[in-house]
Amino acid sequence: MNFRLLVFYISLAIGLAIASVSFFYAKNWQHSLLLLVISFIVSFILLTSVLHRHIHYRISNIYKLIRSLKLGKEMKEVLAEHASEDPILSAEKEVRDWASQKSSEIAQLKAQEKYRREFLSNISHEFKTPLFSVQGYIETLKDGLIEEDVVLATNFLNKASKNIDRLVYLLNDLDEISKLETGQITINLEKFDIIELIHETVESLEDRAKEEAIRIIIDVKNSQPIYVKADRQRIQQVIINLINNSIKYGKEGGRIKINTYPLLDQILVEVTDFGVGIDEKNLPRVFERFFRADKSRSREVGGSGLGLSIVKHIMEAHQQTVQVRSTEGMGTTFGFTLEKAKAGN
C-alpha cells in the first residue's frame, strides 16, 4: 500500500463516520451524502499535507540516506534518482533485503568461526607432533645416550632431523599459501607444452612411486604437443602435489593414470588413483587446509596437509578451476583446467 492510497482509505473512513453520525440524527441521506463528500475532501487534503510533512518526508529522507550509504553515493545523486519512488514501500523492501543480507552474513561468520577453530586445532596438532618428537629425542640424548649407544644415538638424531624437515616443509607451505592469498606471488604466464611438462614431472616422481610399487601411466591419445598459457613452474607444482596425493592414498601395487582432454578453449588435465577413495560427505572439504579424510592413515604417510589447498590457490590465481570426484573404495580423480595458448602467442 502506497502513501496516497493509505491517505485515501483514512479519509474515506472519516467521511463515512461523519456521514453515518449525521444520518443517525438527521435522517437525511442527501445531507449525509454531502457531508461524506465534503469531509472526505477536507480530510484527504489535511492528511496529505500533515502526513507528508511529518511522516512521508522524514521516511523518504531516511530511506534515501540509507540508499546513499549503501551505494556510496552523494546524497544529492540519490535524491534525484529516487524522487519518484514511494519511500514507505522502498524502505520496507530495503529492510527486508537488509535482514536477509544480515542473516546470510551471520551464517557465513558462524561458518568462518567454525573453520577458524578447526584450522587452529589442526595447525596446533601439526606443529606439536614433530616438536614433541624432536624434544623427546634431544632429552634422551642429553641423558647420556650418546656415550652409551652411538648407533642408537645416531638413529635418534636422524629421526629428529626428519621431524625438523617436516616442520620446515610445513612452514614453507604455510608461507606459500599466505603469499598466494595476498597476491604477493605473481603468476608469470607463458606458452608451453603441457604434455612435455607432464612427462617431465612424472619422471621426477617415479622413484617415489616405486617405493609404493605404484605405476604412473600417462594416457595421452596422441603425442602431439598441447600448448597452454600459464605459469609453468606453478602448474608443475600442481601436478606434483596431485600425484603425491595419489601416491599417498593409492593402493600398494596399484596405478595412477594421467589424462588430458581438449575442451573449447581450455585443456582439462585429470589425475586418477585407484585407491581408498573419499567419502562423498568429505568431498567439499578436500581443498581445506589440513583437512584429511583419513586422519589415522594421513599421519602415517606424512605431508603438511596443505598440498591440495595450494593446488586450489594456484588454479584460482590462474582464474581456472580444480574439481574432485571420488567413489569410496574405488579411487579419486582430480581435474584442473588450463587456457589454451592461441596461435602466435
- Say what the pTM is: 0.60
Whether the CB-CB separation of 328 and 338 falls below 8 Å is answered with no
Per-residue pLDDT of 300-325, as tens digits, reads 555 567 888 889 999 998 999 999 99
Amino acid identity, position 203: E
Domains plus CATH for the chain?
3-85 (no CATH), 111-182 (1.10.287.130), 190-339 (3.30.565.10)
Q: What is the pLDDT of residues 208-253, one digit of tens each?
A: 888 888 999 998 776 788 999 999 999 999 999 999 989 988 888 8
Query: Among 58, 37, 39, 56, which residue's Cα sits nearest to residue 48?
Result: 56
CB neighbour list of residue 226: distance below 8 Å, 6 or more residues apart: 193, 194, 195, 260, 262, 267, 340
Q: What is the DSSP letter of 294?
A: S
Q: How far apart are CA 156 and CA 18, in angstroms?
A: 102
Q: Where are the alpha helices (DSSP H) in 52-74?
A: 57-71
Among 45, 20, 48, which residue's Cα sits nearest to residue 33?
Answer: 20
pLDDT at 198: 93
Contact between 163 and 130 (Cβ < 8 Å): yes
Number of neighbours of residue 28 by Cβ within 10 angstroms: 12
Say if residue 55's pLDDT is above 70.
Answer: no
- 117-127 b/e with 16+ CB inside 10 Å = b? eeeeebbeebe
Instruction: Give the model confidence (pLDDT) of 78-104 as tens digits.
Output: 444 544 455 556 666 666 777 777 777
CA distances from 252 to 37, 256, 271 (A): 94, 11, 17
Taking the C-alpha atoms of residue 76 and residue 3, their distance in angstroms, rounded to an integer, is 23
